[in-house]
Amino acid sequence: MRDESYLSLLLSIVAVLTPLSLASVGGATVIYAPLQFEAVDARHWITGREYLDLFAICRFLPGPSSLLGAMIAWKVAGLVGALVAMVALYLPSSALAYGVGMIWDRHRGKPWHTALERGMAPVAAGLIVAGVFTLFQLSGGDLLTGGVIVSVAALLTWKRKLHPFALLIAGAFVFEAAHLAGYLA
């Protein structure tokens, strides 16, 4: 497991994750299928059952859900593997974002730049609201979830000083209470 074979394991982690870093346009969801194919079927790093378990736990963790890649790397290659996976996952896409950002800044103030900036803002606003809607549907789309969503948004509007973290905890307590009352399965 040491030396040469370990090094080639690390290299194959990079080989699997780097393309995924650049392929994940529009969220991590597109990488799940290819990641599963590589990790389970092609390379036998983990079993399908383990993949599903790790996937489930990743959805409950903070941070981007593509951390799943690093989690798998941790399972097969330990801490070094996980660190290598982090670099492979996030360096390529971040470097690209940085390059685009540099070009972006260089042309600040030109008419087409202003038009682009103005034109993109409404699309972004539509994306955000659509994201809220889709997440609401994914989370079950029930009254309890909807109620908590609207209450949090309203509280953040009327009481601007309120720390959002307090609201997230409150959301957890509301669901916990509903769970105990038998409303949730």
Partner 1 sequence: MFFWIGLFSFGGGLMPWIHREVVTARGWMKNEQFLTGVALSQILPGVNSVNMAVYCGQRMRGLAGAVVAVIAMLTGPFLVMLLAAASYRTILGVPWIHAAMAGVAAGAIGMLLRFGISAVQTIATGVVPILVALATFVALGIFKWPLLYVVAVAMPISVALAWPRGKSDA
**Chain residues 43-72 in contact with partner 1, contact rule CB under 8 A:** 53-54, 56-67, 70-71
Instruction: Figure out which of the listed residues 8, 129, 141, 159 binds partner 1, where binding follows CB under 8 A.
Output: 129
- Quick check: 104 binds partner 1 (CB under 8 A)? yes
Nearer to partner 1, 48 or 164 (CB): 164
- Quick check: 131 binds partner 1 (CB under 8 A)? yes
Structure tokens at 78: 């330990």
- Quick check: 181 binds partner 1 (CB under 8 A)? no
User: Buried b / exposed e across 162-175, counting CB within 10 Å, b at 16+?
Assistant: eeeeebeeeeeeee
**Least distance between partner 1 and beta carbon 37 (Å):** 19
Which of 113, 176, 134, 138 is closest to 59 using CA atoms?
A: 138
DSSP string, 82-137: HHHHHHHHHHHHHHHHHHHHHHHHHTTTSHHHHHHHHHHHHHHHHHHHHHHHHHHH
Nearer to partner 1, 4 or 66 (CB): 66
Chain residues 108-127 in contact with partner 1, contact rule CB under 8 A: 109-112, 114-127
Number of amino acids touching partner 1 (CB under 8 A): 96
- Quick check: 130 binds partner 1 (CB under 8 A)? yes
Per-residue DSSP letter, 160: T
Distance of alpha carbon 27 from alpha carbon 5, whole angstroms: 33
- Quick check: 79 binds partner 1 (CB under 8 A)? yes
